[in-house]
């Protein structure tokens, strides 16, 4: 989500809501056209969405054991991984095709590269996990719940499913807020059902491919000596906190073959932000690089992208479309213009670093532990309230509505947050665009903004990473099981006339950061006991 769309979106949304609240007709064409758009409306009726999982039943459900995953109960960790193409077509997306992530009425007119769902399935004795990385800008908890329900029907615990998004800005509007106008949804009901069916079929197929694995992992700060900005990422909001960590994990079969590789990095996938074609952006080429080098299935995981961490404008060592370095008199050629060439260059360079880091990977251990907690987040953002009331996206089914003093008139969302432990490797999830300081922490800083703004103090934050047991590694999973927007620290909120004001527009609540950070910190602390 970018700054230039905010003011126009807010004005049009509020004005349109007065005249058109509840109008779900998105102006889809009566007939299909040459660009692949087909007859149909984007439906947003959330009345039939299943409720989120009952946290009181979580432990009993997990203890009952999986039905789908019938691997031997021998204490070994079993894994399988695969990918499914989810690029919208006239068949699976019979609605006007809008791209998400920037502004209204950004229509898709083709495919640059396919969008995918990358799936990792883990099982050990009675424990299991389904982890999905989707090439989407985000996926709402209401639509995640449909996948949880479908998988529960085939024997997967709802509490053991994590659906994350890479946050590519060249994917369909799965959130519903980037349709034809600020009052018309871009979400396509048929496409949501296609995603539910595709993920269910993929997981069922992978259940038959489970095999015992060993796990190796490594983490280090990314340092690209060929660039004038070695981190390859920028922070566009003060205080500037970069998460430079690159974390990788590899799951190998007993025969030494790669089953799956995880890559966790921290930058908005938006090099294709000005494109009108579908693209997974740079994660596509990172995955391709590792898939070709190692075999198996590479799963890219976007981490702490809020703040806003981006590679827009950052100089990236240029690569050919085949991944070969481009040199001038033996020196790297840098590319700064944000386009497809930069997307594949960044993807390949990141893949090179991931491969080098994997050479240092150490055994992690294979004991699998999955824990879910429910965080009750107040639903306070007026833009979100108006958008939901106008039918742009489905209502949240699982809310606290009987505690107005704590949750306000719109209630609290009961949001799942997960902690997954695989030996010394930990994965923690946040339901939106978490800031780097949530994980890393930060010292107190001040800034003189000048004029009437004066000096602002940004207090110190103790990141949840400080609760990680010594010698253990961490993967930050952003945009997991929801996209609630930016998870902005309450202390950092600014008046809407302030020159650094932006993320506040897309923050669900000023309590969200503390609530999510403390929940994750608590789970990590428990793992050390």
Overall average pLDDT of the 46-58 stretch: 39
Separation CA 300–CA 265 (nearest Å): 8
Between CA 418 and CA 374 the distance in angstroms is: 9
pLDDT of residue 273: 95
Cα 29 to Cα 177: distance, rounded to the nearest angstrom: 19
In angstroms, the Cα distances linking 396 to 257, 372, 483, 489 are 42, 19, 12, 23
Q: Which two tokens stand for residue 435?
A: 């800031």
pTM summary value: 0.90
Burial class (CB in 10 A: 0-12, 13-18, 19+), 33: exposed
Q: 20 phi and psi, to 5 degrees?
A: -130, 15
**Which one is predicted more confidently, 56 or 417?**
417
**Residue 485, pLDDT score:** 95
Give the residues across from 459 on adjacent strands.
none
**CA–centroid distance for 289 within its chain:** 21
> By 3-state DSSP, what share of the chain in percent is helix, strand and coil, each rounded to 5?
25, 25, 45
Residue 290 has pLDDT above 50, yes or no: yes
And the tokens for 407? 């949750």
pLDDT tens digits for range 93-118: 999 999 999 989 999 999 999 999 99
| Residue-level pLDDT at 67 | 79
Does residue 85 contact residue 254 with C-beta atoms inside 8 Å? no
Q: Is the pLDDT of residue 52 over 80?
A: no
pLDDT of residue 182: 87
What is the C-alpha to C-alpha distance for residues 394 and 380, in angstroms, rounded to an integer?
16
Instruction: Say which range, 32-46, 59-73, 81-95, has the weakest mean pLDDT.
Output: 32-46
Query: Is-contact 162 50, C-beta < 8 A?
Result: no
Of the candidates 521, 430, 473, the residue with the CA atom closest to the CA atom of residue 220: 473
Closest CA to 275 of 135, 164, 112: 112
Query: What is the per-residue pLDDT across 353-367, written as a single tens digit (0 to 9) for each?
Result: 999 999 999 999 999
Which residue is listed with tokens 């995955």? Answer: 287
Stretch (H or E) spanning 13: helix 6-20
| Residue 368 neighbours by CB under 8 Å, 6+ apart | 77, 122, 123, 124, 127, 128, 129, 420, 421, 422
pLDDT band, residue 59 (cuts 50/70/90): very low
Helices (H), 261-403: 282-294, 340-358, 382-389
How would residue 26 be classed by pLDDT, with cut points 50, 70 and 90?
very low
């Amino acid at each position: 989500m970018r700054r230039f769309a905010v003011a126009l979106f807010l004005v049009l949304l509020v004005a349109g809501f007065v005249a058109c609240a509840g109008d779900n007709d998105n102006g889809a064409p009566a007939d299909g056209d040459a660009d692949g758009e087909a007859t149909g409306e984007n439906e947003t009726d959330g009345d039939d969405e299943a409720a989120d999982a009952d946290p009181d039943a979580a432990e009993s459900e997990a203890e009952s054991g999986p039905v789908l995953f019938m691997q031997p109960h021998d204490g070994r960790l079993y894994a399988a991984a695969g990918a499914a193409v989810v690029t919208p077509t006239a068949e699976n997306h019979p609605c006007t095709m809008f791209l998400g992530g920037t502004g209204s009425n950004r229509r898709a007119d083709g495919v640059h590269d396919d969008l995918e769902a990358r799936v990792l399935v883990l099982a050990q004795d009675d424990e299991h996990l389904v982890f999905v990385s989707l090439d989407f800008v985000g996926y709402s908890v209401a639509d995640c719940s449909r996948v949880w329900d479908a998988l529960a029907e085939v024997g997967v615990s709802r509490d053991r499913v994590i659906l994350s998004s890479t946050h590519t800005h060249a994917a369909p509007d799965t959130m519903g807020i980037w349709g034809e106008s600020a009052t018309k949804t871009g979400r396509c009901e048929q496409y949501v059902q296609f995603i539910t069916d595709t993920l269910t079929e993929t997981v069922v197929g992978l259940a038959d491919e489970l095999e015992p694995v060993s796990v190796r992992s490594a983490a280090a700060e990314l340092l690209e000596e060929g660039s004038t900005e070695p981190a390859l990422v920028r922070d566009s909001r003060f205080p500037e906190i970069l998460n430079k960590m690159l974390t990788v994990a590899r799951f190998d079969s007993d025969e030494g073959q790669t089953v799956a590789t995880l890559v966790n990095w921290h930058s908005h996938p938006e090099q294709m932000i000005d494109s009108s074609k579908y693209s997974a952006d740079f994660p596509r080429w990172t995955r391709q690089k590792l898939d070709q080098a190692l075999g198996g299935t590479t799963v890219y995981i976007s981490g702490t992208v809020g703040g806003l961490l981006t590679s827009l404008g950052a100089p990236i060592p240029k690569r050919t479309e085949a991944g070969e370095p481009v040199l001038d008199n033996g020196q790297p050629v840098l590319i700064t213009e944000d386009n497809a060439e930069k997307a594949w260059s960044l993807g390949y360079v990141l893949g090179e670093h991931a491969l080098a880091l994997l050479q240092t990977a150490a055994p992690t251990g294979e004991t699998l532990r999955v824990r879910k907690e429910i965080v009750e987040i107040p639903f306070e953002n007026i833009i979100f309230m108006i958008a939901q009331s106008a039918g742009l996206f489905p209502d949240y089914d699982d809310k606290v509505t009987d505690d107005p003093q704590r949750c306000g008139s719109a209630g609290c969302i009961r949001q799942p947050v997960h902690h997954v432990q695989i030996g010394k490797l930990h994965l923690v999830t946040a339901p939106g665009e978490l800031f780097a300081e949530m994980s890393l922490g930060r010292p107190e800083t001040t800034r003189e903004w000048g004029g009437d703004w004066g000096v602002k103090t940004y207090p110190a934050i103790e990141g949840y990473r400080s609760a990680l047991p010594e010698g253990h590694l961490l993967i930050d999973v952003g945009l997991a099981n929801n996209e609630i927007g930016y998870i902005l620290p309450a202390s950092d909120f600014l008046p809407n006339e302030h020159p650094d004001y932006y993320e506040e527009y897309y923050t669900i609540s000023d309590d969200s950061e503390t609530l999510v950070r403390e929940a994750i910190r608590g789970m990590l602390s428990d793992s050390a006991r």
